[in-house]
């Protein structure tokens, strides 16, 4: 998620939080560590929708999942 947020979109945690309707601390909590984030499903959905609205496409690839900028 952090790569999509900062690397592909150039967004800060504050900006993603504003776009998703959550706090930047919640964004930070969702990005910490590996495995299942320590946030609610509703929060993950809000983050996902905000990233998709910003032009991120979520991909299922051979060895897991990935993201890229949506092609126009």
| CA max distance for the chain | 33
67 neighbors 8 (Cβ within 8 angstroms): yes
Backbone angles phi, psi at 50, to 5 degrees: -65, -45
pLDDT digit string (tens) for 22-70?
999 999 999 887 777 889 999 999 999 999 999 999 888 888 788 888 8
Q: C-alpha 40: how far from its chain's center?
A: 14
What is the chain's alpha carbon radius of gyration, rounded to the nearest angstrom?
12
pTM of the model: 0.84
Does pLDDT of 72 surpass 80? Answer: no
Task: Tell me the percentage of the chain whose pLDDT exceeds 70.
Answer: 96
pLDDT digit string (tens) for 43-53?
999 999 999 99
Q: Does domain 2-69 have CATH number 2.30.30.190?
A: no
pLDDT digit string (tens) for 11-22?
999 999 999 999
CA distance 42 to 40: 5
């Amino acid at each position: 998620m952090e790569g999509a947020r900062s690397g592909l979109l150039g967004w800060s945690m504050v900006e993603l939080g504003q776009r998703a309707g959550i706090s930047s601390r919640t964004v930070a909590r969702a990005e910490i560590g590996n495995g299942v984030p320590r946030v609610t499903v509703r929060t993950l959905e809000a983050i996902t929708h905000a990233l998709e609205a910003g032009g991120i496409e979520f991909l299922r690839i051979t060895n897991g999942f990935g993201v890229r900028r949506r092609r126009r």
